[in-house]
Structure 1
Amino acid sequence: MKKLTTLILCLLVASAVSLRAQTKMTDEQRQEALAKYGEFKAKLNLSEQQKKKVDAVNAEFAEGLSALRSSGDSKMAKYRKFSTLRSKRDAQMKEILDEDQYKEYKKFQAEMKEDFKNNRKSGSKN
């Protein structure tokens, strides 16, 4: 369960972060993100088969992000690899989810990206 929570957190951060911004989430932000993700998963109403596939896709994405973070590549190279990872994950999610679920997935990604931008802006003012 701890691995799944970490994986979910990585997914949320990765979905919302540009690789240029290397900020740490506070515990409060982490809890808020996890709560939003829980609401999001409930809203999708995934079947058991979909849950397994979504978890596998997210695990693969998180592994790719982990490798990317530890690489010594340039920011531009990291961004390109991140874009490739994100595109691959989106394509896999599109195959797993039905049309309405996929729309909800994209909406959730946009919301998390906006939240991250807002948190980054408020954090840089301190």
Structure 2
Amino acid sequence: MLFKSTLLLPALLALGLATAVPGSDVEEDLVARGAEFGDNVAARDIEAEDLAARDRTPDCGRDASWDPRSRRCFCHQRGWIYYDDGRICCRRDWYYDHRSFRCCRRSDWDFQRQRCRR
């Protein structure tokens, strides 16, 4: 009897009050709100870009930092060049290879294929 009054009765009461099955009017509500949320994609994208521009700085990687005045990344090492594609800094006389994701010396660079020699 104690089990029925302390555990079973509140559980049945809670199941009766909360329904996990949505009603028939849920789809109509989503269709009605479609113009508010789904159809106005351009305004939503502009708002996201605006939020990103206001309070976020781009990730420049570990070797560079963001300069808000010039609105670009600069390498911490003086005389190094920042490459956006890999978020990496290479020396001036080196090249960044997009295929191997690393810097290569000028002597190791294949100018015809535009990649590092192996």
Give the TM-score normalised by the residue count of structure 1: 0.19
Indicate the structure with greater helix content.
1
Indicate the structure with greater strand content.
2
Ranked by relative contact order (alpha carbons within 8 Å, sequence separation 6 or more), the top structure is: 1
Q: Indicate the structure (1 or 2) with the bigger Cα radius of gyration.
A: 2
Give the TM-score normalised by the residue count of structure 2: 0.19
